[in-house]
Chain A
């Protein structure tokens, strides 16, 4: 019995570790989608390693299609579309060991809807920029009434508790008077 509990706990911990490692491993896999773009003089490939979804980080890679003659510098910002209520979000980038002159990056898309990955490149042929569209999927919507029913839970709890305690106090007082 004790052994089976031990194994169950280990299995849960292992599952959690796998879930955590999933994101790291995502960029080791093949990309889910690739887009060829021309950023000024540079022919590049933008690869997505995760589904673009609101409230989740987007994992991506940017690499030149041909090995560059010098060092490449990148700056990537996710810019919300006109109908998306959000602010621009800077991506964190690191060199891509599998693609010369390429980078891998993560950017959080805090709100669902149309975004643009604004890519700034600076390399041996000069600097340039380009916007690449990304559509962040929305999670299933919760009806407003259900949101409020859940959101007001602490208030119901406080009111219920205070009323119950007040009634209890009154009953105790009445019992003491009866004695």
Chain B
């Protein structure tokens, strides 16, 4: 038997107040994600500057100028995560804005979106990695490769901060109905993904150097296309599968290219200012190119436009959009490796003058395709877990 009763006016008011509080909570969390993105950007610019500083000037102490910038990015991400977790915990104690539906309990005390715990843990690992990196340099010298354990730890810690921020935005995205906040969250997701991709691709710079050429049982191949195909497929497929916003991949690519351009402007300027201020001399064989943005791909925009177009056409025709995006992501990521070949110049000019770059790229193709497939697979898993996150 159905029981119907008029809704009391007071209950309607309470619902409206609850919605307003939830909206305020969403705005707070999106603002928090923005702050985390800014901290990640500080780290990214500091790290790109540091990658230039090492071969150009050398590391004469732990707290060099680029280190101060990248460390401030790590410290800010940790402090922002902590502040947001404490704020949400306090709000949960105080009232109705934060509860089981939009937050995760940790250690029986803290209550916050799960992404903030991930971002905070990433910042903590980054802070731990720095003294370990200093120790590694003490043992093995100032020119240890970018692919040394604690360089990888510092960079992947900040990738973890980026992933945490993506989860924090996704949890809002999955609860929001279409509207202004929804659109902001969608665009915010694409922007943070571009920042996270740029942070991950800091590691790509080493592939333009001696270590970029590998060999298994005499079978020579280059690492740059493999790493690029993996990262591009991951980002392109991931952004479309999570946001469902037309043009999301293109927004991400444009932000990525803006970061690339920003680094081209910032790094030489910062080098000049700091070298003059501290009275340093440039080392012999200092790189002439700006190492990090030089390694960043430019084909990302063309690839993103194709992936967005494929997603749009597939959805319009009622086809299985996700599968079409997956195929487009893999194909464009592999094709991008034929366009972006900074390694071809540096490897031939400085390390392997007789290297046949065309033949080496073709020999690398099976690995490149495999890496793109793994990247797309990882994107599916990432999208699945992001789409399932509400707390």
Determine whether the beta carbon of A89 is less than 8 Å from that of B141.
no
Chain B contacts with A in 223-278, Cβ cutoff 8 A: none
Determine whether the beta carbon of B138 is less than 8 Å from that of A112.
yes
Contact partner of B58 (CB less than 8 A), chosen from A87, A90, A151, A155, is A87
| Binary contact track B28-72/A, C-beta < 8 Å → 1, others 0 | 000000000000000000000000000001111110000000000
Chain A residue nearest to B131 (CB atoms) is: A55
Instruction: Give the CA-CA distance A84 to B142 in the complex, in Å.
Output: 9
Interface flag for B388 (CB, 8 Å): yes
On whether A87 and B60 interact (CB within 8 A), knowing A55-B138, A161-B118, A162-B381, the answer reads yes
Determine whether the beta carbon of A55 is less than 8 Å from that of B160.
no
- The secondary structure that dominates the B interface is helix
Contacts of B129 in A (CB 8 A): 151
Chain A residue nearest to B387 (CB atoms) is: A169
B interface residues, how many (CB within 8 angstroms): 46
On whether A165 and B142 interact (CB within 8 A), knowing A89-B61, A108-B60, the answer reads no
Instruction: Give the CA-CA distance A152 to B149 in the complex, in Å.
Output: 7
Instruction: Give the CA-CA distance A124 to B239 in the complex, in Å.
Output: 72
Determine whether the beta carbon of B139 is less than 8 Å from that of A138.
yes
Instruction: Give the CA-CA distance A147 to B387 in the complex, in Å.
Output: 35
Nearest CB in chain A: distance from B143 CB, A? 5
Determine whether the beta carbon of A89 is less than 8 Å from that of B388.
no
Interface flag for B134 (CB, 8 Å): yes
Nearest CB in chain A: distance from B66 CB, A? 15
Contact partner of A151 (CB less than 8 A), chosen from B143, B150, B163, B387, is B150
Determine whether the beta carbon of A111 is less than 8 Å from that of B382.
no
Instruction: Give the CA-CA distance A95 to B257 in the complex, in Å.
Output: 52
Interface flag for B324 (CB, 8 Å): no
Instruction: Give the CA-CA distance A147 to B145 in the complex, in Å.
Output: 14
A interface residues, how many (CB within 8 angstroms): 39
Nearest CB in chain B: distance from A116 CB, A? 15
Chain A residue nearest to B160 (CB atoms) is: A154
Nearest CB in chain B: distance from A134 CB, A? 15
Determine whether the beta carbon of B141 is less than 8 Å from that of A86.
yes
Chain A contacts with B in 103-139, Cβ cutoff 8 A: 108, 110-112, 138-139
Contacts of B136 in A (CB 8 A): 142, 147
Interface flag for B332 (CB, 8 Å): no
Contacts of B58 in A (CB 8 A): 86-87
Interface flag for A38 (CB, 8 Å): no
The segment from B2-10, B87-95, B151-159, B343-351 found at the interface with A is B151-159
Interface flag for B384 (CB, 8 Å): yes
| Binary contact track A129-173/B, C-beta < 8 Å → 1, others 0 | 000000000110110100110111111011001111110111011
Determine whether the beta carbon of B138 is less than 8 Å from that of A54.
yes
On whether A84 and B141 interact (CB within 8 A), knowing A110-B59, A153-B153, the answer reads yes
Contacts of B153 in A (CB 8 A): 150-154
Interface flag for A85 (CB, 8 Å): yes
Interface flag for B26 (CB, 8 Å): no
A-B contact pairs, 30 of them (CB 8 A): A54-B138, A55-B137, A55-B138, A84-B141, A86-B60, A86-B142, A87-B57, A87-B60, A89-B61, A110-B61, A110-B137, A110-B138, A110-B142, A111-B138, A138-B139, A139-B135, A139-B139, A147-B148, A151-B129, A151-B148, A151-B149, A152-B149, A154-B126, A157-B125, A165-B385, A165-B386, A166-B388, A168-B385, A169-B387, A169-B388
Interface residues of B (CB under 8 A from A): 57-62, 114, 118, 121-122, 125-126, 129, 132, 134-143, 148-153, 156-157, 159-160, 163, 167, 279, 283, 381-382, 384-389
Interface residues of A (CB under 8 A from B): 54-55, 84-90, 108, 110-112, 138-139, 141-142, 144, 147-148, 150-155, 157-158, 161-166, 168-170, 172-173
Additional pairs, 15, CB under 8 Å, beyond known A138-B139, A139-B138, A173-B388: A54-B139, A85-B142, A87-B283, A111-B142, A112-B139, A142-B139, A144-B149, A147-B150, A150-B150, A151-B129, A152-B156, A153-B153, A161-B385, A166-B388, A169-B384
